[in-house]
Amino acid sequence: MDKERNVWLMTQQRMENAMDTLGLKPGIKKYLREPRKTIEVSVRVQMDDGEIDVFKGYRVQHNSDRGPAKGGLRFSPTVTLDDVKALAMLMSLKTAVVDIPFGGAKGGITVNPKELSVRELEALSRQYILELSPNIGIDTDIPAPDVGTNPQIMAWMTDAYSIQKGHFVPGIVTGKPLEVGGSQVRDEATSVGVVSTIISALKHMDMDDIEPRVAVQGFGNAGFHCARILHDMGFRIVAVSDTGGAIYNPEGINPKKARAHKLKSRSVCEFPKCRPIDPRELLEVDCDILIPAALENQIDEDNAPDIKARIIAEAANAPVTPEADKILDQRNIMVIPDLLCNAGGVTVSYFEWLQNRQSYYWSYREVSSKLKKIMERAFSEVYVMSQKRKVNMRNAASILAVKRVADAVSLKTTRSRCYL
Q: How far apart are CA 418 and CA 408, in angstroms?
A: 9
User: Minimal distance in Å, beta carbon 214 to ligand NAD?
Assistant: 15
Nearer to ligand NAD, 31 or 353 (CB): 353
Active site residue 106: yes
User: Minimal distance in Å, beta carbon 239 to ligand NAD?
Assistant: 11
Nearer to ligand NAD, 123 or 216 (CB): 216
User: Minimal distance in Å, beta carbon 357 to ligand NAD?
Assistant: 22
Nearer to ligand NAD, 65 or 242 (CB): 242
CA 372 vs. chain centroid, Å, equals 16
**Which residue, among 284, 281, 226, has the nearest Cα to 256 in the 3D structure?**
226
- Counted residue by residue, the chain has a size of 420
User: Minimal distance in Å, beta carbon 315 to ligand NAD?
Assistant: 5
Binding site for ligand NAD (CB under 6 A): 190, 217-223, 241-243, 279, 293-295, 315-317, 342, 345
User: Minimal distance in Å, beta carbon 343 to ligand NAD?
Assistant: 8
Nearer to ligand NAD, 158 or 317 (CB): 317
**Which residue, among 338, 336, 220, 321, has the nearest Cα to 289 in the 3D structure?**
336
User: Minimal distance in Å, beta carbon 212 to ligand NAD?
Assistant: 21
> Is residue 273 classed exposed, middle or buried when 0-12, 13-18 and 19+ CB atoms within 10 A define those classes?
exposed
Which pairing describes strands 334-336 and 245-248: parallel, antiparallel, or unpaired? unpaired
User: Minimal distance in Å, beta carbon 342 to ligand NAD?
Assistant: 4
Nearer to ligand NAD, 79 or 316 (CB): 316
Nearer to ligand NAD, 327 or 348 (CB): 348
Nearer to ligand NAD, 295 or 384 (CB): 295
Q: What is the dihedral of CA 267, 296, 83, 188, to 10 degrees?
A: -60
User: Minimal distance in Å, beta carbon 292 to ligand NAD?
Assistant: 8
Nearer to ligand NAD, 76 or 135 (CB): 76
Q: How far apart are CA 159 and CA 354, in angstroms?
A: 19
Q: Which residue is nearest to ligand NAD (CB)?
A: 220
**Which among 70, 85, 106, 403 is annotated as catalytic?**
106
Q: Which residues pair with 45 in a beta bridge?
A: 53
Which residues are the active-site residues?
Answer: 106
